[in-house]
Amino acid sequence: MLDERSFGTAVADLCGIDPDLAAIVERHGTPAFWAREPGFPTLVLLILEQQVSLASARAAYDRLVLRLGGLTPRGVLDSTDEELRADGFSRQKNRYARVLAAAIEEGALDLDAVAALGDAEVRTALVALPGIGPWTAEVYLLSALRRPDTWPTGDIALQEGARRAKRLEVRPTSVELEAIGEAWRPHRATAARLLWHLYLSENGRVEPGPPPTPF
């Protein structure tokens, strides 16, 4: 599991083997080590972050938490569609949050047990639910479970960060980004944080965490 100390070590190791990653740190500094708590609330926030700004997602999340006095699966299931709409949930995200809440409430999904699984098994368990695709699963692995080598190749901002760092003419595809990342094993999650840091810094944003990415 990554923590601030191991993240710093991984940054130093990557900068020692890849001058393009070292250049990111030289220009923009080392990114803050952001992390999220594993569990239902973080998955709900990740669902909200799909295809919208982080600020918009956070506002909807905060309204939900304020209204419920906390965030639990039961609270989401007991909410009306109108209440969730007022919080900022689209019809689709309403459904996704309810399915997730029901799976946890009914015992079909045990997030504590999931956290003890290997990366591939975590992905399989999460993407089995509607609304949790590869991006959400990878970012949960990276930010909440803090796995050191997760690598969300379908993330458009990560692809763009790699394009800029490697001075490529076109944005790499998922397959191409997978190949690029091979040189950064077993620290690909740290490489992802550096590339997101480049993307956010050059776009004038300082929000912690990855930019929201459409599926």
Each domain of the chain, given as residue ranges in start order, spans 4-34+149-202, 40-144
pTM: 0.90
User: Can you tell me the distance from the alpha carbon of 34 to that of 31, in angstroms, rounded to the nearest whole number?
Assistant: 9
pLDDT of 209 reads 58
pLDDT (0 to 100) of residue 215: 31
What's the fold here for domain 4-34+149-202?
Endonuclease Iii, domain 2 (1.10.1670)
Q: Identify the pLDDT of residue 174.
A: 94
Tens of pLDDT, residue by residue, the chain (215 residues): 999 999 999 999 999 999 999 999 999 999 999 999 999 999 999 999 988 888 899 999 999 999 999 999 999 999 999 999 999 999 999 999 999 999 999 999 999 999 999 999 999 999 999 999 998 999 999 999 999 999 999 888 899 999 999 999 999 999 999 999 999 999 999 999 999 999 999 987 655 555 544 33
Residue among 90, 108, 93, 115 nearest 44 (CA): 93
Please check whether the two domains, 4-34+149-202 and 40-144, share a CATH topology.
no
pLDDT for position 50? 86
CATH number for the domain formed by residue range(s) 40-144: 1.10.340.30
Asked whether the beta carbons of 47 and 137 are under 8 A apart, the reply is: no
